[in-house]
Amino acid sequence: MKTAANRNKESSPAAGARKGGGAKAISAVSRAFVIVEKLALVSSSNLEELARTTRLAKPTVYRFLNTLRELGYVRKDDADRWFLTMKLFAVGSKALDHIELAKVARPVAERLSADLGETVHMGVLEEEDEEAVYVLKIESKYTIRMYSRVGKKIPLYCTAIGKVLLADLDDGARASRIASTKLVPFTPRTLRDAKALEAELERIRLEGIGCDAEEHETGISCLAAPIRDNSGRAVAAVSASWPMFRFQEERRAEYEARIKAAAAEISAVLGWEG
């Protein structure tokens, strides 16, 4: 015989989840977001179009649309066409305000450093200076490694991180930065010609990877990729640095792919879908 307590326990939300209620709830959320994502691809859509593109039954789509409308995420016009409101954008914008870039990037940078065995940095552009600054560093596992520290400023024109950030600026801002920067040679390999630097920045824009082959420090090679926010702007760059004697040129494509993947993972958290 079941007691009242047993009956209450079985009818509790937790009991429902154990019997599959949780799975149904997850399925409902998934379908709601499928509808939202399809609406995001068009200016508006009617019920029949949404049912076809989501592959859901019209009554199901209609039920979810009404729920989303009650919550303020969609609206319907006089022609019975549905469209997203700006509420999702507002929610996302609030979330971005609370994202700490270095905190978000740290676990990704730690994995990248562990995979490559080398020092990993993340740097951002100093708006008022002609430099970038390290905001995150993961040390190499090796004793012989690059000297640096969080807070250290680095030039834009001869470092992998700096060149990635410089390459992403619009034409006017980039030209202004280059014109106001004295191309001081840190090593015999530092680029000292503005035209050569522009050509290198164009390559970075096309390939999505920056390189510093002993241009800032003799004996050190770096590769970097851009970290983008939801607008597509490069707000930072992540790099890996090798002593030249450990850099294996035959593995360059692998190195580049891993660094790009790390940058893409961090960018995804910031809302970039590229």
pLDDT digits (tens, 9 = 90+) for 194-242: 999 999 999 999 999 999 999 999 999 999 999 999 889 999 999 999 9
* pLDDT confidence of residue 180: 85
Stretch 168-177: mean pLDDT = 90
CATH of residue 35:
1.10.10.10
Is 76 a member of any domain? yes
Residue type (1 letter), 199? A
From 92, 118, 137, the end of a domain falls on: 92
At which of 92, 118, 147 does a domain end?
92
> How far apart are the C-alpha atoms of 220 and 206, rounded to whole Å?
24
User: Does 15 have pLDDT greater than 50?
Assistant: no
User: Are residues 144 and 87 part of one domain?
Assistant: no
> 127 — phi, psi (to 5°)?
-60, -35
Answer yes or no: are the C-beta atoms of 263 and 112 closer than 8 Å. Answer: no
**Residues 147 and 229 both lie in one domain:** yes
> Strand 131-138 and strand 234-243: pairing?
unpaired
| Position 1 pLDDT exceeds 50 | no
- If asked whether residues 262 and 141 sit together in one domain, one would say yes
Q: Which pTM value belongs to this model?
A: 0.67
Question: Both 163 and 122 in a single domain?
Answer: yes
Label residue 170 left, alpha or beta by phi (over 0 means left) and psi (-120 to 50 means alpha): beta
Are 9 and 137 within one domain? no
Report residue 173 as tokens. 């801002």
Q: Of residues 26 and 77, which shows the higher confidence score?
A: 77
Residue-level pLDDT at 97: 57
Residue 32, in any domain of the structure: yes
Is 274 a member of any domain?
no
Domain for residue 40, yes or no?
yes
CA torsion angle 24 27 32 33 (round to 10): 150
Q: Which of 78-92, 135-149, 197-211, 220-234 has the lowest mean pLDDT?
A: 135-149
Residue 46 inside a domain? The answer is yes
Q: How many domains does the chain have?
A: 2
pLDDT of residue 87: 84
**Residue 242, C-beta contacts closer than 8 angstroms, at least 6 positions apart:** 118, 220, 221, 222
- In terms of residue numbers, what domain contains 13? 4-92
245: phi then psi, degrees, rounded to nearest 5: -70, -15
Confidence of residue 116 (pLDDT cuts 50, 70, 90): very high
Among 92, 107, 122, the domain boundary falls at 92
> What's the per-residue H, E or C state across 40-87?
HCCCCECHHHHHHHHCCCHHHHHHHHHHHHHHCCEEECCCCCEEECCH
- Looking at the structure, do residues 59 and 155 belong to the same domain, yes or no? no
Confidence of residue 95 (pLDDT cuts 50, 70, 90): low
Q: Cα separation of 96 and 36, whole Å? A: 20
Per-residue pLDDT, averaged over 244-263, amounts to: 95
Q: Is the pLDDT score of 136 beyond 70?
A: yes
Is the predicted pLDDT of residue 22 greater than 90, yes or no? no
**84 shares its domain with 106:** no
Q: What's residue 27's pLDDT?
A: 85
Tell me the pLDDT band of 101, cut-offs 50, 70 and 90: confident
Q: Does one domain contain both 136 and 75?
A: no
Same domain, 30 and 105: no
What average pLDDT does this structure show over 66-84? 91
User: Are 85 and 108 found together in one domain?
Assistant: no
Together in a domain, 65 and 82 = yes
Report if residue 21 sits inside a domain: yes
In a domain, 228, yes or no: yes
* Contact by Cβ (8 Å): 149, 133: no
Secondary structure (3-state) at 141:
coil
Residues 142 and 258 in one domain: yes
Mean pLDDT, rounded, for 131-135:
89
109 and 120 in contact (C-beta within 8 Å)? yes
| CATH number for position 148 | 3.30.450.40
The yes-or-no verdict on residue 9 having pLDDT over 50 is no
Give percent of the chain with pLDDT exceeding 70.
Answer: 85
